[in-house]
Amino acid sequence: MQPTPPLPAALPFLGLLLSIAILPATAPRFWLRRMGWVAAGWCALLFPLLGFGAAGAMGWHTLVADYWPFIALLGALYTASGGILLRGGPGGRPAGNTLVLALGMALGLVMGPTGAAMVTIQPLLHANAHRRRKAHLVLFLIVLVANASGALTPLGNPPLFVGLLRGVPFFWPMRHLLAPYLVFTALLLGLFWLVDRRFVASEVTTQAPAPPRQPLRVRGWGNAGLIAVLAVSTVLQGASETGRLIGGGVALATIAVSLAITPRAVRRANAFTWHPMAEVAILFAGLFVTLAPVSALLRAGPEGPLGPIFALTADAAGVPRLWAYFWVCGLVSGFLDNAPAYMVFFDLAGIRPEAMTAAQTETLRAISLGAVLFGGLTYIGNAPNLMLRAVAAHRGVRMPGFFGFLLLSAAVLVPALLLITVTFFL
């Protein structure tokens, strides 16, 4: 067992997080040209903090065992989704955009939230190309499709997939999370319709008219099949390092097949380039490496340096506080990574899927919902968030910075999360 790193080992992650939050707004040209060097500099700080041997071993293991399968899968999803061309359909107006988001959430049940979000963003932005304000479309896409759509199935959803590997039945989320999922979804889809309707009314004299309605046309069914295969393969590969490495190979093969079967005209129509993927690959390399010691601090649990955080989850008699599990696990997921957060709180609560009590069922429901629903709180709360921001920015959407997005997403999420708390965990 590896020793727990010292608390200052979290500083490089915090430094990289602040760099992502501040530099794109204050020094955009420097950030665009030097983001890789900035990320490498924060990673290098781990050497004096952990020791050269420990830092090198941790960094190498993280890049090979965790980062490589992750970035290969994300690249495969990005490539395949860029080969699916959707035109026409219901988008471009408040009711139509709401329906597109709802359809994206339905896709999330089949191909996982990441694949569904990648498929949905292109037609959503294309249908609203005439609009002046489009950042809210991406915000709700991140919150609803890239995160909340994964609440009912472990298919392509890292935290619930971890639960599946630990013995939680495949259909457990569908049975126990459906009610809060429906409340959350109905509230946020309704809120989106109101916000989008308000923006349309405020821009009616300044924006171009919406394009005429056209029947939905889809090209690239082969790429849709590739995304479904990727979602299923993540479940079949398991959590072993060998399985993840094989999964990276499957992802590379998917990229090759997608590039071979997709006409260039389809990618041109989707404004497909590798720039968003390159940006995300660079930043997540730094995030994965600097996050490794933070994850180790979390795994130390109540006896580790972050013990006060875990103390909030139970009262003096040791009775679990469901609302605390929901919020603490959720906030950790929103700023770090939801899969490690789920694992840590799963173990802290002593969940035994083979003999789960009623109290453990309620606790696991709080942990699961926290890990999934809070993922849209920040750009780094879940894998596809930063990718969607990069794609939208490349398409000319003026996306808010890290703190701006945090404030906007909190304004959207917090009322819904409070309603979930009051209704199900108090």
Distance between CA atoms of residues 110 and 88, nearest Å: 22
When pLDDT is averaged across residues 106-126 and rounded to a whole number, the result is 87
* Contact between residue 177 and residue 365 where contact means Cβ atoms under 8 Å apart: yes
The whole-number pLDDT of residue 395 equals 86
Give me the helices (H) in 158-303, please: 158-165, 172-202, 221-236, 241-261, 264-269, 275-299
Q: How confident is the model at residue 178 (pLDDT cuts 50, 70, 90)?
A: very high
* Contact between residue 341 and residue 371 where contact means Cβ atoms under 8 Å apart: yes
Residue 366 has pLDDT above 90, yes or no: yes
Spell out a b/e string for 85-110, using b for 16 or more CB atoms within 10 Å of the CB, else e.
Answer: bbbbbbbbbbebbbbbbbbbbebbbb
Distance between CA atoms of residues 252 and 260, nearest Å: 12
When pLDDT is averaged across residues 177-191 and rounded to a whole number, the result is 96
| Tokens linked to 179 | 């009610």
Q: How confident is the model at residue 209 (pLDDT cuts 50, 70, 90)?
A: low
Domain ranges, ordered by start, for the chain:
7-424
Residue 365 has pLDDT above 90, yes or no: yes
Give me the helices (H) in 45-146, please: 46-50, 52-61, 68-81, 94-127, 135-140
When pLDDT is averaged across residues 84-112 and rounded to a whole number, the result is 87
Residue 37 has pLDDT above 80, yes or no: yes
